[in-house]
């Protein structure tokens, strides 16, 4: 009953409240509503649980793509990580992440740029971490080719994403919502084919697991997580 109520409230929030807030003005919405929405939706317990499966595996010199509000920072293994460079074009999310960065014992550098054009050297990173961001990056193919470029040969790409569902009805909903949900959510597309995107870049999947996150709304809840290598 509690779960049903949560899902119902989430759907009302996403499809009724957000469009109303957006009517207050696009700029206001993108500056004030979207960053808080991302920090809230990405920070739910099931999402945090997913992060713990992936982020502690990163070692050495690490780049985090779409670091957003910094929800992964607490999960890095500070004994195995040399530095983390967080890439994200959002000023507002960067401010939220900076506050989290102050509370952890990590060497963190924020790089306000886009994953499609990473200003870092070829073959220079041991690990790239990307969680819940391939949905929102406007050109994920280009971003993944950049990720491939900056990874050392044998370097690892640690991913956790929501994406295309194997179930027909959920898939339909994902395609229907892709017409308007991105404009409400900071660009989030529910229907991206995560594994196909990763393998098309030349990265080789070593591990991949999938499931619907418990308590999530289905069209946003089908998760893929694992490791790919260059
Ligand atoms: C749904 S949020 C996820 C944030 C964070 N990765 C997490 O796990 O909570 C998507 C993130 O992708 C970022 N993003 C959007 N376009 C991007 C781009 N071109 N390059 C890098 N990051 C981008 C957004 O600013 C946002 O921080």
> Strand, coil or helix: what is 171?
helix
Longest dimension (CA), the chain: 52
Q: Write out pLDDT tens, residues 67-90.
A: 999 999 999 999 999 999 999 999
Measure 89 CA to ligand 1 centroid, in angstroms: 8
pLDDT band at 1 (very low <50, low <70, confident <90, very high): confident
pLDDT at 4 over 80: no
Quick: pLDDT tens for 19-66: 888 888 888 888 989 999 999 999 999 999 999 999 999 999 999 999
For residue 24, the model assigns a pLDDT of 81
- Regarding the beta carbon of 133 and ligand 1, being less than 6 Å apart is answered yes
Cβ(157)–Cβ(227) under 8 Å?
A: yes
Q: In the predicted model, is pLDDT for residue 127 greater than 90?
A: yes
Range of the domain at 58: 2-229
Query: Which pLDDT band, with edges at 50, 70 and 90, does 5 fall under?
Result: confident
Q: Which has the higher per-residue pLDDT, 13 or 46?
A: 46
CATH number at 30 reads 3.40.50.150
Q: How many domains does the chain contain in total?
A: 1
Cβ(128) to ligand 1 under 6 A? no
Q: What is the pLDDT of residues 162-174, one digit of tens each?
A: 999 999 999 999 9
Please report the pLDDT score of residue 188 as a whole number: 96
> How far is CA 192 from its chain centroid?
12
Other C-beta atoms lying within 10 Å of the C-beta of residue 38 = 23
Best probe residue, ligand 1, of 66, 76, 97 (max atoms within 8 Å of C-beta): 66
């Amino acid at each position: 009953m509690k779960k049903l109520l949560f899902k119902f409230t989430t759907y009302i929030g996403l499809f009724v409240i957000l469009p109303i807030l957006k009517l207050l003005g696009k700029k206001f919405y993108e500056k004030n509503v979207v960053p808080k929405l991302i920090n809230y939706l990405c920070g739910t317990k099931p999402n945090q649980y997913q992060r713990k499966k992936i982020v502690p595996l990163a070692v050495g010199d690490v780049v985090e793509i779409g670091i957003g509000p910094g929800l992964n920072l607490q999960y890095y293994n500070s004994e195995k990580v040399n530095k983390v460079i967080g890439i994200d074009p959002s000023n507002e999310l960067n401010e939220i992440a900076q506050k989290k960065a102050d509370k952890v014992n990590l060497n963190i550098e924020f790089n306000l740029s886009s994953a499609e054009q990473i200003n870092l050297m070829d073959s220079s990173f041991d690990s790239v971490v990307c969680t819940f961001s391939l949905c929102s990056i406007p050109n994920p193919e280009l971003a993944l080719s950049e990720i491939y470029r900056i990874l050392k040969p044998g370097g690892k790409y640690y991913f956790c994403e929501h994406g295309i569902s194997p179930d027909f009805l959920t898939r339909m909903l994902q395609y229907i919502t892709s017409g308007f949900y991105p404009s409400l959510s900071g660009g989030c597309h529910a229907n991206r084919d995560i594994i196909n995107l990763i393998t098309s870049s030349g990265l080789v999947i070593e591990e991949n697991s999938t499931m619907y996150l418990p308590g999530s709304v289905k069209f946003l809840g089908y998760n893929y997580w694992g490791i790919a290598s260059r």
